[in-house]
Structure 1
Amino acid sequence: MYTREQASQLRQAFWTVFGQYMLPVLSAEGLKANWLNYNTGFKHLYFRMKADKQMASIGIEITHPDIEIQEFFMEQFLALKNLLHETVAEEWIWQPHVPDENSKIISRIYQEITPVNVFNREDWPTLISFFKPRIIALDAFWSDAQYAFEDLR
Structure 2
Amino acid sequence: MYTREQASKLKQAFWTAFGQYMAPVLSAEGMRTNWINYKTGLKNVYFRMQADKKEASVAIEMTQPDPEIQQMFFEQFEALKELLHDTAGEEWTWDLHTADEYGKVVSRIYVELKGVSVFNQNDWPTLISFFKPRIIALDAFWNDAKYSFDELR
| Global fold match (TM > 0.5) | yes
Q: Could you say which residue in structure 1 is the equivalent of 2:6?
A: 6
Residue 101 (str. 1) matches residue 72 (str. 2):
no
Q: Could you say which residue in structure 2 is the equivalent of 1:32?
A: 32
Q: Could you say which residue in structure 2 is the equivalent of 1:50?
A: 50
The runs of 5 or more residues in structure 2 that have no matched partner are none
User: Structure 1 residue 108: deviation in Å?
Assistant: 0.1
User: Structure 1 residue 78: deviation in Å?
Assistant: 0.7
Letter in 2 for 1:103: G
> How far, CA to CA, are the matches of 1:112 and 1:33 in structure 2?
23
Q: Root-mean-square deviation (CA), in Å?
A: 0.3
Structure 1 stretches of at least 4 aligned residues deviating more than 3 Å after TM superposition: none
SS at match of 2:37: coil
Q: Could you say which residue in structure 2 is the equivalent of 1:114?
A: 114
Sequence identity percentage: 68
The TM-score normalised by the length of structure 1 is 0.99
Q: Could you say which residue in structure 2 is the equivalent of 1:23?
A: 23
Residue 73 (str. 1) matches residue 73 (str. 2):
yes
The runs of 5 or more residues in structure 1 that have no matched partner are none
User: Structure 1 residue 145: deviation in Å?
Assistant: 0.1
> How far, CA to CA, are the matches of 2:152 and 2:34 in structure 1?
23
Q: Could you say which residue in structure 1 is the equivalent of 2:89?
A: 89
Residue 141 (str. 1) matches residue 149 (str. 2):
no
